[in-house]
Amino acid sequence: MLRAVALAALLILPEIAAAQTVVPTRVLRAQTVIAGDDVTLDEAATPGALASLEQAVGREARVTLYPGRPIRPDQLGTPAVVERNQIVRMVYTEGPLNIMAEGRALDRAGPGEFVRVMNLTSRQVVTGLVRGSGVIEVGR
């Protein structure tokens, strides 16, 4: 009787999906934007590593990634739209007031990330939020 109950319980349980881990197919240097053929799924489950290809494709490697090693979320970021030493437009907006100035980016950054910028006129260093177009929003 106990054997029949155990067998019935196994038949009712849904199939357990095998966990997978995203790994590079080749060496990916830092600042490389990951394409679909750059990564694959490994059958081994690694806690804390990416589990689907969609989490990696289109992201930028922050460090060098090696084939067969699991990719962790902190090793990837948004592709940079602002490069170090690039001349960028800084914008300060407060109600109807809108001030624009040129600055030099002191770091690399992608949309939604903060970057330090030196105002070319005053030499003052400020921190601003990068927008998708590469404009730096300062003063918030």
pLDDT of the residue at 65: 96
Distance of alpha carbon 136 from alpha carbon 117, whole angstroms: 8
Is pTM beyond 0.75? Reply is no
pLDDT in tens, 108-139: 999 999 999 999 999 999 999 999 888 999 98
pLDDT in tens, 67-120: 999 999 999 998 999 999 999 999 999 999 999 999 999 999 999 999 999 999
Confidence band, pLDDT 50/70/90 cuts, at residue 3:
low
Average pLDDT of 11-35? 79
Tokens 């962790």 appear where? 72
The second-level CATH assignment, the architecture, of 18-77 is Alpha-Beta Complex (3.90)
CA 12 to chain centre: 40
Distance of alpha carbon 134 from alpha carbon 116, whole angstroms: 13
Confidence band, pLDDT 50/70/90 cuts, at residue 49:
very high
Average pLDDT of 43-65? 93
For domain 87-138, give the fold. Answer: SH3 type barrels. (2.30.30)
pLDDT of the residue at 45: 85
- Which tokens in the block code for residue 136? 């730096």
Return the domain boundaries, the chain.
Answer: 18-77, 87-138
- Which tokens in the block code for residue 26? 């080749």
pLDDT over 70 (residue 60): yes
